[in-house]
Amino acid sequence: MSVLVVTGASAGIGAATALLAAERGWDVAISYKANAAGAEKVAAGVRAAGRRALAMRADAANEAETVAFFARVDAELGSLDGLVNNAGITGPAHRIDDVTGAMLTELFAINITGTFLATREAIKRMAKDRGGKGGVIVNVSSRAAEIGGGGTWVHYAASKGAVDSATIGAARELAPRGIRVNAVAPGPIETEIHAKAGVGDRLAQLAAVVPMGRAGTVDEVARAILFLLSEESSYITGAVLPIGGGR
C-alpha cells in the first residue's frame, strides 16, 4: 500500500493526478486552499476507486498548516511514499511594469516556499537516513520557465524557473537518501487557471503556437506525473519533462 500527497488538488491537474493515482493503487491525501466542495469530490472519487482518501484545507504557503497536514496524513493514512507539489498560481497577467510587491510575495510564497515546505515535510518521512523507506517527489513546473512569459507572466515564469532549480538540486541531494525528484513542465493545459488570471481566451491563442495545434488535457499531464511516480522511471531523477505539444 502506497501513500501519496498531492497539494492543491481540488481542481485541475492536481485533481486529475489524485484520481489517476487512486486508479493505479495509491492512497491519496489532498490539500486545498478554498474549494472544499471540489476537494471532497476528488476524495470521494479516490474512495470510489477503492483507495483511502484524506482532504484537508492547508494553504501551501502557510508553514503551520502544511506541517499539520502532513501530521494528519501520518495519523490517518500512515507512512508516506510520494509527494506531488502541484499547488500553484499564475497571479494576474501583467507586464513587469505593473507587477506589485504584494503580488510577487503571494506568488512566490505559494509556488516556491510552498514547494520547499512540503518537500521538507516529505523528506523527514521518506529519507532513508531519517528512518524512512525512500520515496518519490514530482514538482509541477511550467514550460513558461524556459519560454520566459514575456508580456504577461515573467513573474510566474521566474517562479517556475526556481522550481526547476529546486528540482535539480533536490534530486542530487536526495538521490543517496533514497528519494527521486523530478518535474513536469506543462504547456497550455485546459484548466481554470487561465480564467482566474483574467485571460480565459488565452488557451485558444496559445494553441495556435503549439506545434500539435491544441492545448493539452489534465489527464495528459496526470499520466506523465504517474509515470514519474512509478518504478517505470526508477533511474530518472533531476529531470524536467516538457508536456507542451512540441512547444
Among 5, 6, 14, 161, binds ligand NAD (CB under 6 A): 14
Among 29, 112, 156, 185, the one annotated catalytic: 156
Q: Which is nearer to ligand NAD, 33 or 94 (CB)?
A: 33
Comparing CA positions, the residue from 70, 73, 66, 84 lying closest to residue 15 is 84
Give me the half-sphere count of Cα atoms (radius 13 Å) on the Cβ side of residue 192. 9
CB of 178 to ligand NAD, least distance (A): 26
Does 138 interact with ligand NAD (rule: CB under 6 A)? no
CB of 206 to ligand NAD, least distance (A): 8
**Touching ligand NAD, residues 50-109 (CB under 6 A):** 59-61, 86-89
Among 20, 22, 27, 31, binds ligand NAD (CB under 6 A): 31
Q: Which is nearer to ligand NAD, 132 or 155 (CB)?
A: 155
Does 161 interact with ligand NAD (rule: CB under 6 A)? no
Number of residues that bind ligand NAD (CB under 6 A): 29
**Touching ligand NAD, residues 196-225 (CB under 6 A):** 196
CB of 130 to ligand NAD, least distance (A): 25
Binding mask 176-195 for ligand NAD (x = CB under 6 A): ----------x-xx-xxx--
Does 228 interact with ligand NAD (rule: CB under 6 A)? no
What's the alpha-carbon Rg for the chain, to the nearest Å?
17
Active site residue 156: yes
Written as one letter, the residue type at 133 is K
CB of 16 to ligand NAD, least distance (A): 8
| Alpha-carbon dihedral angle through residues 160, 164, 167, 171, given to the nearest 10 degrees | 180
Give the Cβ contact number of residue 232 at 10 Å. Answer: 9
Q: Rounded to whole angstroms, how far apart are CA atoms 93 and 147?
A: 15
Q: What CA–CA distances, in Å, run from 237 to 136, 186, 230?
A: 9, 18, 12
Q: Torsions phi, psi of 234, nearest 5?
A: -60, -20
Among 2, 10, 233, 237, binds ligand NAD (CB under 6 A): 10
Among 3, 33, 136, 237, binds ligand NAD (CB under 6 A): 33
* Residues recognised as catalytic: 156
Which chain residues interact with ligand NAD by CB under 6 A? 7-14, 31-33, 35, 59-61, 86-89, 110, 140, 142, 186, 188-189, 191-193, 196
